Amino acid sequence: MKCPYCNEDNTQVVDTRENDEGDTVRRRRRCTSCDKRFTTYERVELQLPLIIKKNGGRVDYLRSKLKASMSLALRKRSVTAESIDAALDHIEERLATLGEREVASQRIGELVMRELKKLDKIAYIRFASVYRNFEDIDEFSIAVQEAKEPQ
């Protein structure tokens, strides 16, 4: 693993820990050249399907893009980065177990809404208002009622 500070190839693992679910390994590393420390994460790389956009185009699944969307909905909410990563892991596991080569972006949107509903009701409403493109207050009221329903 290259050091992100000096680009040296020689780094040493100082500490290794698994997360609670056992699907991610966190490693603290130390560069033997510049002596700086950094963290790496190791997880299984799943073969995820292509995403079919609303306009019919197909794009690769990008965790970073999905994380950015969720983070925007969760902005200024007290949800940890670990919780967001766990939600993304759940979405990716679901996509991988579908066994499909292509998945509609609407399906991913529904998976995101399900995870946001568990994490934070306000973020769920924020995401739903953009995702479902609310036209009037009645649609907003329906989403609020959905958020109040138990999971």
DSSP bridge partners of 13: 29
Residue 124 and residue 111 in contact, taking contact as beta carbons nearer than 8 Å: no
Same domain? 70 vs 112:
yes
Does residue 56 share a domain with residue 126?
yes
Distance (Å, whole) CA 118 – CA 112: 10
pLDDT above 70: percentage of residues in the chain: 97
What confidence tens digit (pLDDT) does each residue in 112-143 have?
999 999 999 889 888 887 777 777 777 767 77
The CA distance from 111 to 94, in Å, is 8
As a whole number, mean pLDDT of residues 43-62 equals 88
Q: Are residues 28 and 95 in the same domain?
A: no
pLDDT number for residue 131: 74
Q: Is residue 95 within 8 Å of residue 48, measured between CB atoms?
A: yes
24: containing domain:
11-42
In a domain, 24, yes or no: yes
Can you tell me the distance from the alpha carbon of 23 to that of 5, in angstroms, rounded to the nearest whole number? Answer: 28
